[in-house]
Amino acid sequence: MYIPSDKRYEKMKYRRCGKSGLMLPMLSLGFWHNFGSADNYENMRAMCQTAFDNGITHFDLANNYGPVYGSAEINLGRILRQDFAGLRDELIISTKAGYDMWPGPYGDHGSRKYLIASIDQSLKRMGLEYVDIFYHHRMDPDTPLEETALALSQIVASGKALYIGISNYDGKTQKEMSAILRELHVPFIINQNRYSIFDRTIENNGLKKAAAEEGKGIIAFSPLAQGLLTDRYINGIPEDSRVKKDGRFLKEKDITPEKIEIIRKLNELAGSRGQSLAQMALSWVLKDEDVTSVLIGASRPEQILSNMEITAGEPLSAEEIRKIEEIVND
The DSSP result for 226-284, as a single string, is: GGTTSSTTTTS--TTSHHHHT-SSS-GGG--HHHHHHHHHHHHHHHHTT--HHHHHHHH
φ and ψ of 153, to 5 deg = -60, -45
How far, in Å, CA of 69 to CA of 80, rounded? 19
327, part of any domain: no
For the cut 60, the answer to whether the pLDDT of residue 247 exceeds it is: no
pLDDT (average), residues 177-200: 98
- pLDDT for residue 104: 97
Per-residue pLDDT at 235:
80
Q: Tell me: the pLDDT tens digits for 305-329?
A: 999 999 999 999 999 999 999 999 9
Does any domain span residue 237?
A: no
Q: What is the pLDDT of residue 240?
A: 65
Domain holding 176, by residue range, is: 14-231+279-315
Mean pLDDT of 148-175: 98
The 3-state DSSP class for residue 92 equals strand
In a domain, 245, yes or no: no
**Do the domain assignments include residue 257?**
no
The closest alpha carbon to 157, from 126, 119, 124, 113, belongs to 119
- Please report the pLDDT score of residue 244 as a whole number: 57
pLDDT of residue 184: 98
Side chain identity, residue 103: P
Residues 286-296 pLDDT 10s: 999 999 999 99
pLDDT in tens, 98-148: 999 999 999 999 999 999 999 999 999 999 999 999 999 999 999 999 999
Whether a cis peptide bond, with omega within 30° of 0, leads into 68 is yes
pLDDT > 70 fraction of the chain, expressed in percent and rounded: 97
Q: Identify the CATH number of the domain in which residue 36 sits.
A: 3.20.20.100
Q: Is the pLDDT of residue 87 over 70?
A: yes
Task: Please check whether residue 271 lies inside any domain of the structure.
Answer: no
**Total structural domains within the chain:** 1
Whether residue 19 is contained in a domain is answered as yes
Q: If you average pLDDT over every residue of the chain, what do you get? A: 96
pLDDT of res. 225: 95
Alpha-carbon torsion (6, 8, 10, 15), positive or negative: negative
Confidence band of 254 (pLDDT split at 50, 70, 90): confident
What's the CA gap between 49 and 51, in Å, rounded? 5
Q: What is the pTM of this model?
A: 0.96
Pairing between β-strand 58-60 and β-strand 188-194 as defined by DSSP bridges: unpaired
Asked whether residue 39 is domain-assigned, the answer is: yes
Indicate the pLDDT class of residue 251, thresholds 50, 70 and 90.
confident
Contact 223, 195 (CB under 8 A): yes
Question: Is residue 242 over pLDDT 80?
Answer: no
Q: Is residue 265 included in any domain, yes or no?
A: no
